[in-house]
Amino acid sequence: MGGYSISDLWSILVMQGFSGLSLFSVLLLMALGLAIIFGQMGVINMAHGEFMTIGAYTIYMFSKVTQQYFPSLMPYYFVVAIFAAFGIAFAAGYLVEFLLIRHLYKRPLDTLLATWGLSLIMQQIFRTVFGAREVSATLPDWLMGAWKPTPDIDIPLNGLFVMAISLVVTAAVVLFLYRSSWGLKVRATTQNRIMAGSVGINTKKIDRVTFAMGCGIAGIAGATFTTIASTGPTSGSLYIVDTFLVVVFGGAGSVIGTVASAFSIAQAQSILTFFLTNAMGKVVTLMTIIIILMIRPEGLFRSKVRKH
Amino acid sequence: MNTFYTRWLGGKKGAIELAVLAVFILVVMPLWLDIFRLNLVGKYLTYAFAAVGLVMVWGYGGILSLGQGVFFGIGGYCMAMFLKLEASDPISTAHQTTPGIPDFMDWNQITHLPLIWEPFHSLTFSLFAVILVPILLAYIISTAMFKRRVGGVYFSIITQAIAAILTILVVGQQGLTGGINGITDLKTIHGWNINTDSAKYILYFTSGILLLGVIMLCRFILSSKFGRLLLAMRDKEDRVRFSGYDVANFKIFTFSVGAAISAIGGAMFTLQVGFMSPSLIGIVPSIEMVIFAAIGGRMSLIGAVYGTLLVNYGKSAFSESFPSLWLFLMGSMFIGVVMFFPNGLAGLYDVYMKKWVEKLAMKVKKIAVPGKLNSVKTEL
Amino acid sequence: MSRNKSMLAADDRTDLTRKVSALSLRTRAVLAVAGTLLITFTANSFAAEPATSAVDTTHLAVTDKVVTVGQLHSATGTMAISETGAIEAERLAISQINASGGILGRQIKIIQEDGASDWPTFAEKAKKLLEENHVAAIFGCWTSASRKAVLPVLERDNGLLYYPTFYEGLEQSKNVVYTGQEATQQVFAGLDWVAKEKHAKTFYLIGSDYIWPRTTMKLARKYIETVLHGSVVGEEYAALGSTDFGSTINKIRLKKPDVIYAAVVGGSNVSWFKQLKAAGINGKNHTLLTLSVTEDEAHGIGGENLAGFYSAMKYFQSLDTPENKDFVKKFKAKWGADAPIGDVTQAAYEGPWLWKKAVEMAGSFDTDKVVKAEESGKITFDAPEGMVYLEPNHHLKTRLRIGEWRTDGQADIVYTSDYIMPNPFPKGY
């Protein structure tokens, strides 16, 4: 096929498979935060991309400070910075929920518009503080380069890193939702808000924390992005449509749905962009998703949610 | 005459509002502004078509379409294709490697006109295409979605995705659509030069009159039983369904009408600005069209026009002097309209101005026809 | 009492000579110098300020003291990053021209408009500059899309545009001067060099899906196949703004080309080079020649991701000539020590100077007269990149340089070509 030898084909398979997995982790991280928010509260947060950008800029700031004042700590700053990215995005999300979102729960379409306005404001803040130019964090050495299991196969290390992070984060989310008392309260509120309230759960607080968590995860996603792309004020808007489609395709509110959706979309896009050109691969993927959604609008996995 | 008065013009109140708008657009603006600024206003009026469409689709239909740019763009591109073919006759393109085809195809080393362009040699076909292609697309999308009861947020996101896809497609197929440059350098329509000052005046008035006509048409639609059902459907869809109506059909119809209106705007845009570009199809322009309708008042057809003019004026004025301030302002407008002014300018008018206007009208009426009282009609 | 004129003259003459010879030598010298100065000043003041009616017959924004020009770049939006350098360079040139007396005795005033990375806005602002402000010239645009949008306005209103970006050619408008290279100038010499120095026979072409990369790669492919007798083992285009190059890099690894020939633009550039590095492809084990990375992009990509790769440009900031060192020093003094200076920035700097020369040669600001002067083929300018020659086809005759990137974001120049005639409509391509 196309003049490749058998060992070539094997290498292609491995490397493409890995690219697909890599893309899968990226999509998963982006979509997880949004799925939680959407599933929990029916809120579409158009500023999700901007929370990712918060995480990315956090890494950038840490990288600059470390380089300037603590150059010996370069190999370590990254992990610390990821936690910081979560924290800052979490705090920002908490604030936004308190100021804006909680007034709009019954009006999902209006939330969409209001959060779009929020994203514009956030983009302008980024532009004013960090400048219009794109910036890059200096990555620690252990993230660069590739792992070579065989001479023909190069697995980029930062791809492995991103995969590891998404596994950890997904596991943490699942544990949180299904094994902790907070998670119990969250699930109760999702399934039947009124009953949960009557049982004594502070649904408002739950909503706030859930939203903030979704934003925090977005922050982590943005932080991992600094390993593959640069950051600018409008970086968030590059991924927002993909993220939404992953969430909607997976069936909102379902973690399994998000995982399955991210996996299938990533693999499809990866394979298609190998055989077709880059642009056409993307278009075909998007169109297939839309057609499938038209046939099965509730997505892959529907979760039992009572309509608000 | 009576039907015309009540249903097309919207009764006394509606007729006055329409008249005020007509005078503003057709008399005040041309007298007050020079041709350069008037041309800009003409451009804003074409955006107003999309906003008016959104009032129908979103304000009354409850369907938040984040992809109106798609229909605006399709209308615009159909018109642009006709104009480009006319401007690419073999004589003026004699210096190209392949004369007789648009210049951007020549740069992309295409040697003969693609099949899909052939029908656009005819003005009649192009005019039909401007309206029918968007309606067809809107029909397909909305049938697939509404028949399965997909609504609300899901639908909005899918319209967004469609806007994104169309942008990628148009930009990617450079040889077919001019790619990211768009289709530029349009000269004449059926031999009539669209770039002269007098042409700009004529096109301005045409856009204005078409816009007023579209508003009247929408009024007609909304004042029928259909309009009432639409409102009912927006607020309590299930009850309408239980009453025996096929909600999906109404939604499909409304969505298609909105699409056609936007497409007309797109075609007028191409004529007035002289080119068409994919930057009008995507997610950002589509959301901007929503804000035009929101600021004007999502339930007010007339308000949509004022909203569009106001926001675009602000954009031009602010972006020249304070580009960073403008984005803050626009973001706050989105939030403000949602939180504090859900009915936009029309809402503000209702709350503050209407009393005075009505008092004035009453006084005038009393003087003119003593003894006869006005009845307050619901406004459209 | 009036004396007879001739008697007065004779009397006065002898009177004067007697008076002058009565003066000391020093006084005579002073008088002589003063007299000469007086004459020079009077003559100069007539020559340096020709009346406005003589230099402007088309009602441009020209007064006796001031001439107004327009600057049309993106100050906001995705292109703002790239166009900032051009804005800065043009302003530097104009302030230098003003400091040395202006043009035809007039100081240059700038009206700056923001294209906002949106092509319809570019067209609108161009119309405003020409129809409302009547500027004598516009320095602006960066992407081909913005230039294409502005072109009909320029031609209709007979304006002048100085366009600084390296572009795909296939254009030659009376109303534009292209200070950036057109495709043949960038492509052929670079390919020759890489074929010779690196013994390259197989090429993998990758670009963004946009007219400039597509046209450039078409030229490159033809040249590789017919002139260099090499072969193209892959050709790919990534959607504008795309950040996922995994599949492309895998394909490159499989095909093992001698040279990766790249024309990726915008934000994709950063992802492209970062992912190459992550995949273990770097300057030490692969040869990569790119047409779209200048110091501006290197600033965003990061030198460590570019080290060892090559760019083909007509100018690099590291160019070691007295003119360039002086230019770099002045640029950084005005705009900050961190400001990168790339090929487009330098080309933008050339714009105002070339316009000045054309206006002075024409003795007028009228577009038609300036264009005639430009097409004379006699306008040259000692630019930071070296001497450039404005050819009658509105393009510049320049050299091509190959720079090898260092980890600090600057390039070492490893090759300088001879002067290359601009040929925007190459035959047979």
Q: Which of C80, C236, C238 sits opposite A132 (nearest CB)?
A: C80
Chain C stretch 203-232, residues whose beta carbon is closer than 8 A to a beta carbon of chain B? 209-211, 214-215, 218
Same domain, C188 and C211: yes
Q: Average pLDDT for residues C22-32, to the nearest whole number?
A: 58
Among chain A residues, CA nearest to C236: A277
Which chain A residues have a beta carbon less than 8 Å from that of C243?
Answer: 228-229, 238
Q: What's the pLDDT at C18?
A: 60
Give the domain range for residue C147.
66-181+321-394
Which chain C residues have a beta carbon less than 8 Å from that of A278?
Answer: 209, 236-239, 242, 244, 247-248
**Residue B379 falls inside a structural domain:** no
Other C-beta atoms within 10 Å of A218: how many? 36
**Residue C280 falls inside a structural domain:** yes
Residue A154 has pLDDT above 60, yes or no: yes
Which chain A residues have a beta carbon less than 8 Å from that of C279?
Answer: 146, 154, 156
Residue B221 has pLDDT above 80, yes or no: yes
What single letter denotes the amino acid at residue B44?
Y
Of A251 and C179, the one with more pLDDT: C179
Helix spans in chain B (H): 2-3, 11-23, 29-32, 35-54, 68-87, 103-107, 123-146, 152-172, 174-177, 197-222, 225-235, 237-242, 247-273, 283-296, 301-321, 323-339, 344-348, 354-368
Same domain, C152 and C196: no
Among chain C residues, CA nearest to A158: C278
H or E segment and range at residue A71: none
Contact yes or no for C250/C276 (Cβ under 8 A): no
Which chain C residues have a beta carbon less than 8 Å from that of B107?
Answer: 168, 170, 211, 215
H or E segment and range at residue B189: strand B188-189
Q: What's the pLDDT at B233?
A: 84
Of C178 and C301, the one with more pLDDT: C178
Long-range contacts, stretch C320-324, CB < 8 angstroms, 24+ apart: C320/C413, C321/C384, C321/C386, C323/C382, C323/C383, C323/C384, C323/C386, C324/C384, C324/C385
Q: How far apart are CA C64 and CA C73, in angstroms?
A: 28
pLDDT-wise least confident of B136-140, B159-163, B339-343, C212-216: B339-343
Q: Is B226 on the interface with C (CB under 8 A)?
A: no
- Here the CATH number for the domain that contains residue C258 is 3.40.50.2300
Which chain C residues have a beta carbon less than 8 Å from that of B167?
Answer: none
Q: What's the pLDDT at C429?
A: 72
Of C35 and B228, the one with more pLDDT: B228
Q: What's the pLDDT at B75?
A: 95
Q: Average pLDDT for residues B277-293, to the nearest whole number?
A: 90
**Residue C19 falls inside a structural domain:** no
Same domain, C71 and C168: yes
Q: How far is B288 from chain A (nearest CA, A)?
A: 10
Chain A stretch 109-148, residues whose beta carbon is closer than 8 A to a beta carbon of chain C? 127, 132-136, 138, 144-146, 148
pLDDT band of C358, cuts 50, 70, 90: very high
Same domain, C209 and C172: no
Q: How far is C89 from chain A (nearest CA, A)?
A: 17
C149 contacts B275? CB cut-off 8 A:
yes
pLDDT band of C28, cuts 50, 70, 90: low
Q: Is C174 on the interface with B (CB under 8 A)?
A: no
Our count of domains for chain C comes to 2
Among chain A residues, CA nearest to B325: A124
**Residue C192 falls inside a structural domain:** yes
Q: Average pLDDT for residues B268-289, to the nearest whole number?
A: 90
What single letter denotes the amino acid at residue B206?
T
Which chain A residues have a beta carbon less than 8 Å from that of B165?
Answer: 283, 286-287, 290
pLDDT band of B325, cuts 50, 70, 90: confident
Residue A93 has pLDDT above 70, yes or no: yes
Of B45 and C243, the one with more pLDDT: B45
**Residue C413 falls inside a structural domain:** yes
Same domain, C267 and C411: yes
A241 contacts B327? CB cut-off 8 A:
no
pLDDT band of A92, cuts 50, 70, 90: very high
**Residue B377 falls inside a structural domain:** no
Residue B376 has pLDDT above 60, yes or no: no
Query: CB contacts < 8 Å between A and B, how many?
Result: 109
Of C50 and C353, the one with more pLDDT: C353
What single letter denotes the amino acid at residue C287?
T
Q: What's the pLDDT at C96?
A: 95
Q: How far is A133 from chain B (nearest CA, A)?
A: 15
pTM, 2 dp? 0.82
Give the domain range for residue B39.
2-368
Residue B127 has pLDDT above 90, yes or no: yes
The ranges assigned to domains in chain A are 25-236
Q: What's the pLDDT at C30?
A: 54
Contact yes or no for A210/A37 (Cβ under 8 A): yes
Q: How far apart are CA A25 and CA A265, in angstroms?
A: 11
> CA end-to-end span of chain B, whole Å?
19
Q: Average pLDDT for residues C236-240, to the nearest whole number?
A: 82
Residue A142 has pLDDT above 90, yes or no: no
Q: Is C111 on the interface with B (CB under 8 A)?
A: no
Same domain, C204 and C231: yes
Q: How far is C209 from chain B (nearest CA, A)?
A: 6
pLDDT-wise least confident of A161-170, A200-209, B252-261, B317-326: B317-326
Q: What's the pLDDT at A68?
A: 84
Residue B356 has pLDDT above 80, yes or no: no
**Residue B376 falls inside a structural domain:** no
Same domain, C170 and C194: no
**Residue C88 falls inside a structural domain:** yes
B324 contacts C145? CB cut-off 8 A:
no
Q: What's the pLDDT at C397?
A: 94
Q: What's the pLDDT at A159?
A: 79
Q: Which of B174, B184, B324 sits opposite C148 (nearest CB)?
A: B184
**Residue C370 falls inside a structural domain:** yes
**Residue B373 falls inside a structural domain:** no
Q: Is B318 on the interface with A (CB under 8 A)?
A: no
Q: Which of B157, B162, B327 sits opposite A120 (nearest CB)?
A: B327
Q: What's the pLDDT at C11?
A: 47
Q: What's the pLDDT at B43?
A: 93
Q: Which of B152, B168, B291 sits opposite A108 (nearest CB)?
A: B152
Q: What's the pLDDT at C350?
A: 95
Condensed to tens digits (0 to 9), the pLDDT of residues A49-59 reads 999 999 999 99
Q: What's the pLDDT at C17?
A: 57
Q: Is B176 on the interface with A (CB under 8 A)?
A: no
Residue B374 has pLDDT above 60, yes or no: no
Condensed to tens digits (0 to 9), the pLDDT of residues C254-300 reads 888 999 999 998 778 888 998 888 777 888 889 999 999 999 888 87
pLDDT band of A239, cuts 50, 70, 90: confident
Q: How many residues does chain A have?
A: 308
Residue of A273, A274, A285 to mutate for C, most C C-beta atoms under 10 A: A273
Chains that touch B (3 or more CB pairs under 8 A): A, C
pLDDT-wise least confident of A151-165, B29-43, B78-92, B166-180: A151-165
Q: Average pLDDT for residues B347-364, to the nearest whole number?
A: 75
**Mean pLDDT of all residues belonging to chain A:** 82
Q: What's the pLDDT at A276?
A: 75
Which chain B residues have a beta carbon less than 8 Å from that of C76?
Answer: 319, 323-324, 327
Residue A218 has pLDDT above 50, yes or no: yes
C302 contacts A136? CB cut-off 8 A:
yes
Q: Average pLDDT for residues A177-197, to the nearest whole number?
A: 85
Q: Average pLDDT for residues C196-213, to the nearest whole number?
A: 90
ipTM comes to: 0.80
Among chain A residues, CA nearest to C244: A23
**Residue C170 falls inside a structural domain:** yes
Among chain B residues, CA nearest to A38: B153
**Residue C426 falls inside a structural domain:** no
What single letter denotes the amino acid at residue C384?
P
Same domain, C410 and C298: yes
Q: Average pLDDT for residues A269-294, to the nearest whole number?
A: 79
- In order, the DSSP letters of A190-225 are HH-HHHHHHTT--HHHHHHHHHHHHHHHHHHHHHHH
Q: How far apart are CA C204 and CA B45, in angstroms?
A: 49
Same domain, C92 and C241: no
Which chain A residues have a beta carbon less than 8 Å from that of B145?
Answer: 294, 297
Our count of domains for chain B comes to 1
CB within 8 Å of A295: residues ≥ 6 apart: B144
**Residue B301 falls inside a structural domain:** yes
Q: What's the pLDDT at B266?
A: 96
Q: Is C118 on the interface with B (CB under 8 A)?
A: yes
- Between the alpha carbon of residue C73 and those of residues C85, C118, C346, the distances in Å are 10, 10, 15
Q: Which of B104, B171, B279 sits opposite C120 (nearest CB)?
A: B279
Residue A173 has pLDDT above 50, yes or no: yes
